[in-house]
């Protein structure tokens, strides 16, 4: 079943010497955003997307991915031994 997209209109406001938009409470709840959460803004071909920033360090994630790739065989053997 395809999720129906709901569009939410917001007015751009002044925030100090910058501008901003507010995030509706129901959207913030869905994305687990609270005051102080960090988000990443990515330009797209028709606007931008906003996603919650991962709390994990990118260097840590890269090391984990490298380790998982390097030791995939050993990890698979360990996984199968638990079955």
**Looking at 1-5, 38-42, 55-59, which range is the least confident one?**
1-5
Strand runs (DSSP E) across the chain, as ranges? Answer: 13-15, 18-20, 39-44, 47-52
Q: Which residues have CB under 8 Å from 61's CB, separation 6+?
A: 54
CATH number for the region 9-52 comes to 2.10.260.10
Work out the percent of the chain whose per-residue pLDDT is above 70: 94
Confidence of residue 61 (pLDDT cuts 50, 70, 90): confident
Confidence of residue 2 (pLDDT cuts 50, 70, 90): low
Confidence of residue 3 (pLDDT cuts 50, 70, 90): low
The pLDDT tens digits of the residues spanning 16-48 come to: 999 999 999 998 998 889 998 999 999 999 999
């Amino acid at each position: 079943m395809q999720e129906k997209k709901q569009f939410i209109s917001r007015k751009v406001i002044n925030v100090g010497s910058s501008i901003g938009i507010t995030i509706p409470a129901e959207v913030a709840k869905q994305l687990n955003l609270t005051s102080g959460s960090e988000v990443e803004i990515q330009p797209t071909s028709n606007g931008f997307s906003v996603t919650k920033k991962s709390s994990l360090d990118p260097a840590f994630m890269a090391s984990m991915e490298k380790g998982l790739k390097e030791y995939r065989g050993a990890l698979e053997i360990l996984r199968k031994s638990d079955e």
